Every structure is written in structure tokens, then in C-alpha cells.
Amino acid sequence: MRHRLTGQTIVLTGASSGIGAEAARLLTRRGAAVCLLARREDELAEAADDISRSGGAAHVYAVDLTDPDGASLVIDRLLTDHERIDAVVNNAARSIRRPIADSVDRMHDYERTMAINYFGAVRLTLGLLPRFLEQGRGHVVMSSSMSTQIPIPLFSAYLASKAALESFTRSLVAEQGAAGISATTIHFPMVRTDMSGQTAIYQAMPMMSPDKAARWIEKAIVDKPTRISSLHGTAAEIAMATTPGIVTAGLRPVFTHMDRILTRRSRPTDI
């Protein structure tokens, strides 16, 4: 049972560190070969060497998925190098924390967030889709956020890109599910990664570990559920479906208060 993925090939983006690198290790322990995609080739090579030393199989593909030409070249290499590709995990992402009122002259924040979170993931998925259809099977994993299930402030660019990705995924399965295409959307809570660490106040916030987040990706590949979500995320989504105005208004002061607490905790104390 532990080696249920033996013989499978899985493409994984954002694989140079954090959740992606740990997920790659878990998947190779189950017998899969992983194709590691990210921008930083040196870190990808380090992750691949670590997997190889443990007896796993990992292949390195350095790529900037926001570059259409570079992405097309890597997709061609993947299809040439691997006769069979069983799944793709769209894990690469970027986040920006900024109020909408402070973004009126920063349209580029939205554009660059969409470039990797949405267009990069869709471009890779579309590139692999013909192989999936030819095989009669293929699984797509989309890393999303619990924050798309609940109205939170300050992350409009990030959350809009993830909401778009979720809609694409639903349409993909609606159209191609009968042809053997399946998908899992993962609604991660905040995870302690380099990306979340760029926001100082979140150093004081309890977060999911990268190891646990990677196990959610492992579950997505092995069990192929339609979605993976926390209990809090699921409850929030139900509440938003039934009383969205009340939930949005009620949470506004909660998030304001939480930001004050985190800001206070993140300040260095005098000794």
C-alpha cells in the first residue's frame, strides 16, 4: 500500500524548497518518479540529489513559468523525456499583502501574481492535457488557499488568482472528467514557508508546517479527492454560501483585531 505510486511520473512545480520539495520526497518514497520544476536550478539540483541519495528518482527542469517561451520548451522536454505522465501538481505561487486602497497605482501587483499563480498553472496544465487524454487518465492538483473560502482583507491579488484557478479546475473536470481527467483543489491554511515569512507580523501567527502541507499533496495524488480542506475552511464556505453579508461584516472587526495582536507580538521587546 505504501508504494501505490510505483511506476508513475509526477510533475511538481515550486519544487526547489518548502512544501514542494517535501512533497517530492514523500511521493518518491511511494515509488513515483518526480519532475521538479522551479526557477532556481541549483536548489532543484540539491533537492534532486537528496531524493537520489534516498533511493528515489527525480528529474530537474529549471523554468520560469511566467515566461511563455521558456514554459513551452520545458513542456516539450517533459513530453519527450517521459512517455507517461500521470499527474501535475501546480504548487508554485507568489503572494502580495497590500490593501486595495494602496494598490490603485500598482496594477502590476495583480498582473505578476496572476502570471504565476494562474497563467503559469494553466499553461502547464494545458501543455500536459493532450498526453493525459491520449493516456485516458491524468490527475491535476491545484494548490489554493483556505482564504478563498472566507472573505479576508489585504490579499486581493493573491486570492483573486487562486479563485480563478479554482474555477478553471472545476471547468476542466466538468468537460474532461468522462475522458479520465480528475483534479484536486487543496485549500491550504497559512503554511510557514519562505513566502509567508516575508510578512513580518506572521512570524507570530500559528501556521501549518511544510511537512504537514506536503502530506496534503501526497493525499491528493494517492486518493484523488475533489478537494482537501480544513474543518474551519469548510465551515466558512458553508457560512458564506448561506449568509455572505453577515459573515463578511462580522469578520471585518475580527481580522482588524487579529492584525493588531500579531503586530504587537511581532515587535522586538527590549531586554
Q: What is the CATH number of the domain that holds 234?
A: 3.40.50.720
Let me know: does 217 contact 19? Beta carbons within 8 Å.
yes
Position 3 in a domain? no
Which residues have a Cβ under 8 Å from the Cβ of 90 and sit 6 or more positions away? 13, 120, 121, 124, 125, 140, 141, 142, 143, 165
Rounded to two decimals, the pTM is 0.89
Question: Could you give the CA distance from residue 36 to residue 246 in angstroms, rounded to a whole number?
Answer: 44
Position 34 in a domain? yes
Per-residue model confidence as pLDDT tens digits over 193-238: 665 445 555 555 567 999 999 999 999 999 999 999 999 999 999 9
Position 271 in a domain? no
CA distance readout (Å), 15 to 84, 265, 269:
20, 32, 36
Position 106 in a domain? yes
Q: What's the pLDDT score for residue 202?
A: 56
Q: Which domain holds residue 64?
A: 9-266
Position 86 in a domain? yes
Per-residue model confidence as pLDDT tens digits over 121-168: 999 999 999 999 999 999 999 999 998 999 889 999 999 999 999 999
Q: What's the pLDDT score for residue 267?
A: 58
Position 1 in a domain? no
Find the radius of gyration of the CA atoms of the chain. Answer: 19
Position 45 in a domain? yes
Q: Is residue 270 very low, low, confident or very high in pLDDT (cuts 50, 70, 90)?
A: very low
User: Would you say residue 61 has pLDDT above 50?
Assistant: yes
Residues annotated as catalytic (active site), given as ranges: 158
Give me the number of domains the chain comprises: 1
Let me know: does 94 contact 116? Beta carbons within 8 Å.
yes
Q: Is residue 271 very low, low, confident or very high in pLDDT (cuts 50, 70, 90)?
A: very low
Which residues have a Cβ under 8 Å from the Cβ of 33 and sit 6 or more positions away? 8, 9, 10, 56, 57, 58, 59, 82
